[in-house]
Structure 1
């Protein structure tokens, strides 16, 4: 029997083994439809073994001169044919379960149920589908087309849903199902025209392989999308955490300055408290803010921040705004953290603790440009690769620029030469009329 299996059903057996190997390989991932494919492989294996036993019996044991009436061999042939008639439509039914967008899928089983009942009735003696004579010659019954008709119903349903997928622009799924139906119908035609014989096993196995590869590809694609979504959510969480971190030293310095002004200049103290409230509100709002904000809004928040820093630095901090372009959008809290770095690490760390910060904007050919320049201490740009947590604002701004508007942050600096931070916003993302 093994030799006959290898000789006459080698391709079917090889395909089944290949599918089993793929199922085992993907057992941990378990793509959607794996259980259905496993059942189909089991049914297909039964069909192949069933066909092999028949061929082995006909070539080794069968004798056309023997009267098999009442012999166990006749019972086996009846059972074998009934199993084959039931399983082929069953495989098409299970394939249909994988893609049919219907809630009451048990309705789809009704045609297959009719086949099963008819085959059982045929085995019980009604002989309505097929019969064997005394010499085991197969003869069609009145309903001999029933199993093929039911199989055709499932194939037509598969074709119908595949056309629906194509109309819904689910091209890969639609094409995969259309190709499976085409292969099966082509094989049926070739066998009906006696061009080929007994290739249904191979065609069904090939159908299963094609559809399983499709399922694995879809699973991998969905996994990549989920992974990317998870990464974006994680990055957003990190961004929100960073945005929610208000530097304690700045709060302490601002409150200390306000307390001092309460005794010296109550009017300025009141104004400073209003600015401090605006600053806190902006930072808190930024935690839940999505999308881009206008450059005007960012500059307004930066001015509020600088007004608070002026309480401490007074004349030691000189601020200049050179705004030539104010019709674009950028990520929230992009400019203020860079200005804060300029004040904290540029001006405050300079030799005399004083200096100038210039904030400018201009429209370029392909970009909106923001420049934050100070004449403070400066630093070695190569040290950016080793920034500690106190410089997390730079990495955060750079990351959000890349993710939210494909923007770019360029930092030019040298010790004792000051620093210039350049923010470039592509026009296709940053223009106020771009829809962002």
Structure 2
């Protein structure tokens, strides 16, 4: 227990940071952000270094006797092993961090400097002292290749800087500057130790580096999850749009075919023209399944005119249509006007007491929006009935939803029984410019 107490007491900050990293990894184990495995490996390596250093500190403070000669003593061999492990693991952490940060393809080639260091440390441990040695009183001394561990670690740090510059060039600013900050922090700590301003802070700095980058990984993961969620939402929304269009099409086809059937026995030439209009109409609705979600207002008006030409075959002189197009320089969700006009004809004019009437279609531009008004003098209805729309009114609900989803627009309906209905479509200019087609 006393040994554990000494380890924690002498390395409290390092131990606390390692525990913090472990808690963060456990907390995010289900999400498992990219790079968590590398962070876990670094945490293990850092833990080994902390315990390794703490055991030496404990021995030197509690057991070591400067008057005793340790020649041939096993503790001297253990100190050699301890120093070799420390020399190997710090560059190893930098190597794993490099694998975590950068898209390294030739991992084995980049490992060569670390492999050379491991071989040299084994040689130093088992035979010729070329990196460091301990004298009989366990004093540490540098030898010819004493800078090799620092050189290998510095090489990996320079590679990190190189990749971080590439990240910045690729506009991955947050990643690039995060890596640069980590490298700067590590190099600054090396300078402080070389100048004897601080001593033995590398463990804490490495732990801090890992915490910083792990927070970055978690932030990136959360950002990616938001993007994926938004993408799924958009895909779902597009599926709903396609479903919406497929729901509207049967109404179009039914009404058009009814008009053509009604005309067949009366006028062959008109029937031919009606079939041409119907083919145009059908083609438009089939194209709507694969085309962009918004179209020019002129195209919507033309499509509505084709529909009305078919309906007027059945109504003949009982249906009058008036167009007043003052604004024709904007876009709106496809199949927006026609379903409302269809409702005006089917549920307004057709159900009026006289069975005849007029539909007015107008557009105008206001300071902050484009406005479309579809008005009829048909049967009208109680507005409270809108919340109980049946399948025959499904076009209204679809248009309202698509306006809101695709351009932030709205559909305002006013109606008075036996007087008529007025539907106003408002498309905000700002939202229309930014969001249409997204």
The alpha-carbon distance between structure 1 residues 216 and 381, as it changes in their structure 2 partners (threshold 3 A), is farther
Q: Does the 8 A contact of 2:6 with 2:58 survive in 1?
A: yes
Once the 2 structures are TM-superposed, how far is the Cα of residue 398 of structure 1 from its aligned partner? 3.1
Using a 3 Å threshold, how does the CA distance of structure 1 residues 218 and 382 change in structure 2: closer, same or farther?
farther
Preserved contact between residue 289 and residue 332 of structure 1 (Cα < 8 Å): no
Q: How does 1:218-257 map to 2 (within 5 A)?
A: 218-248=220-250, 250-257=252-259
**Cα distance change on mapping 1:336 and 1:182 into 2, 3 Å:** same
Q: Could you tell me the TM-score, scaled by structure 2's length? A: 0.93
8 Å CA contact 2:296–2:332 kept in 1: the answer is yes
Change (3 A) 1:171 1:68: same
Q: Mind listing any 5+ residue stretches in structure 1 that lack a counterpart? A: none
Query: Which residue of 187, 201, 206 corresponds with 2:208?
Result: 206
- Residue 170 in structure 1 maps to residue 147 in structure 2: no
Do the aligned partners of 1:253 and 1:312 also contact (CA within 8 Å) in 2?
no
How many Å apart are 1:95 and its aligned residue? 0.9
Shift of 1:32: 0.7
Matches within 5 A, 1:31-70: 31-70=33-72
Report the count of equivalent residues. Answer: 434
2:102 is aligned to 100
Say if 1:158 and 1:181, in contact at 8 Å, map to a contact too.
Answer: yes
- Which of 180, 183, 207 is equivalent to 1:181? 183
Report the Cα offset of residue 392 of structure 1.
3.6
Aligned residue in 2 for 1:88: 90
Point out where structure 2 has 5 or more consecutive residues left out of the alignment.
none
Within the candidate set 122, 138, 147, 1:120 is matched to: 122
Q: Deviations over 1:380-434 (max 9, x none)?
A: 4455455455444334323333443343333333444422222223445768xx9
Alpha-carbon separation, structure 1, partners of 2:295 and 2:100: 46
CA distance in 2, matches of 1:244, 1:385: 22
Sort the Cα spacing of 1:351 and 1:38 in 2 relative to 1 into closer, same or farther, 3 A: farther
Distance (whole Å) between structure 2 residues aligned to residue 377 and residue 216 of structure 1 = 60
2:112 equivalent in structure 1: 110
Summarize the Cα distance change of 1:435–1:331 in structure 2 as closer, same or farther, 3 Å threshold: closer
Render the CA deviation track for 1:110-146: whole Å, top value 9, x for unaligned: 2111111111111111111111111111111110111
Moved more, 1-10 or 223-232: 1-10
Q: 1:249 to 1:195 in 2, by over 3 A?
A: closer
**TM-score, normalization: structure 1?**
0.93
Contact 1:254 1:311 in 2 (8 A): no
- SS class of match (2:363): strand
CA distance in 2, matches of 1:327, 1:366: 14
Structure 2 counterpart of 1:158: 160
Cα distance change of structure 1 residues 393 and 262 upon mapping to structure 2, 3 Å threshold? closer
Deviation at 1:306, TM superposition (A): 1.2
Deviates more, 1:2-11 or 1:386-395: 386-395
Deviation at 1:177, TM superposition (A): 1.0
Partner of 1:370: 372
1:382 to 1:162, Cα distance in 2 relative to 1, 3 A: farther
Match for residue 413 of structure 2 among 411, 414, 418: 411
The root-mean-square deviation of aligned C-alpha atoms, in Å, is: 2.2
